[in-house]
Amino acid sequence: MYLTTTGLVLREVDYKESSRILTVLTASEGKITVSARGARRKNSKTAAATQFLSLSEMTLSNSHGRWVLTEARCLEEFNGLRDDLALLALGAYIAEVTDLAANPEEPNPELMSLALNALFAAGVQKRPPELVRAVFELRVAALSGFVPDLEACAVCGKQQPLEPTLDLAGGVVHCRSCLHGASYDQRQLDENSLKAMRHILNSTSKRAFSFRMEGEPLRRLSKATEDFLALHFDTRFKSLDYYKSVREL
Ligand SMILES: [Zn+2]
């Protein structure tokens, strides 16, 4: 059986002398493992198309449940990410989270579109990396079933909570004064960062990245989305630690 599909390389591991084993998020088959024989050979036609974070048109053959790459053409290399250490680290974080969020062999067009839009926003449109990260984190959490309810204070019902605070575990927002006693599970927002979170959740995947924010509101936004995602995925992303260590250089 042969199949041609579009795929984003989420992971590549060297295999034997000149091959690669890839984790690919494909449009038609979802996340699959692909062996790319000879991809590292000198003058290999599939070298660019099988590298980490490439978006490629791939022709695959399937034999006994194993996917083998027969042809590949790179559609987008995201060179804007590769030329910048911090952006490449952000790309690696987007890939690691996407890999975790994708179920094997289950097509997830929304997740693929979100990952591609995030890579495009950071690497091609040169949107602020922290903004891209926050949008990606909140949307990938929502796609995975963790959608915070941000419409109004969960306690008093005010649509514009006073000193809005996100309850990470409960996935709700409330006025700071509506809950008594501090908890490690709360992240302080402000009017602008709450507005941004609502925009991110209520827009299409592409439109979600188009807003401006910087300074303290952006810092609050990304702190909240990062911790919300990590809590609900119950994990610590190594690539995020690395991104943070290089982003200020
Ligand atoms: Zn309230």
Q: Which long-range contacts (CB under 8 A, 24 or more apart) does 233-239 make?
A: 233/97, 233/100, 233/101, 233/141, 233/144, 235/100, 237/93, 237/96, 237/97, 238/96, 239/89, 239/92, 239/93, 239/95, 239/96
Q: What is the pLDDT of residue 248?
A: 72
Say yes or no to pLDDT of 181 above 70. no
Could you say which DSSP state residue 209 is in? G
Distance between Cα 173 and ligand 1 center (Å): 9
Per-residue pLDDT at 179: 83
CATH at 59 = 2.40.50.140
Q: Ligand 1 mean position to 142 CA, how many Å? A: 23
Together in a domain, 72 and 86: no
Whole-number Å distance, alpha carbon 177 to ligand 1 midpoint, is 7
CB-based neighbours (< 5 A) of ligand 1, an ion: 153, 155-156, 158, 175, 178
**Residue 32 parent element (H or E):** strand 30-36
pLDDT digits (tens, 9 = 90+) for 18-69: 999 999 999 999 999 999 999 999 899 999 999 999 999 999 999 898 999 9
User: Per-residue confidence at 160, pLDDT binned at 50, 70, 90?
Assistant: very high
Nearest Cα residue to 212 out of 225, 195, 227, 228: 195
Is the Cα torsion angle 189, 192, 196, 198 positive or negative in sign?
positive
pLDDT at 182: 62
84 alpha carbon – ligand 1 mean position (Å): 43
| pTM over cut 0.85 | yes
Number of domains observed in the structure of the chain = 2
Helix (H, G, I), strand (E, B) or coil at 122: helix
Q: What does the alpha-carbon distance between residue 197 and residue 225 come to, in Å, rounded to a whole number? A: 9
Query: Measured between alpha carbons, how far is 134 from 239 in angstroms, rounded to an integer?
Result: 15
Q: What is the CATH number of the domain that holds 135?
A: 1.20.1440.120
Q: Distances from the Cα of 81 to the Cαs of 28, 52, 104, in angstroms?
A: 26, 11, 26
The answer to whether residues 38 and 18 belong to one domain is yes
Average pLDDT, the chain: 95
Domain stop point among 28, 61, 76: 76
CA angle 225, 228, 233 (to 5 degrees): 120
**Are residues 50 and 156 located together in one domain of the fold?**
no
pLDDT at 249 over 60: no
pLDDT for the residue numbered 77: 95
Choose one of 29, 49, 76: the last residue of a domain.
76
By residue range, what is the domain housing residue 229?
Answer: 79-246
* Strand, helix or coil for residue 56: strand
Q: In this predicted model, what pLDDT tens digit does every residue of 58-99 receive, in sequence order?
A: 999 998 989 999 999 999 999 999 999 999 999 999 999 999
Instruction: Quickly list H helices, 27-147.
Output: 79-82, 85-101, 109-123, 129-143
Tokens for 197? 């979170």
pLDDT value for 205: 87
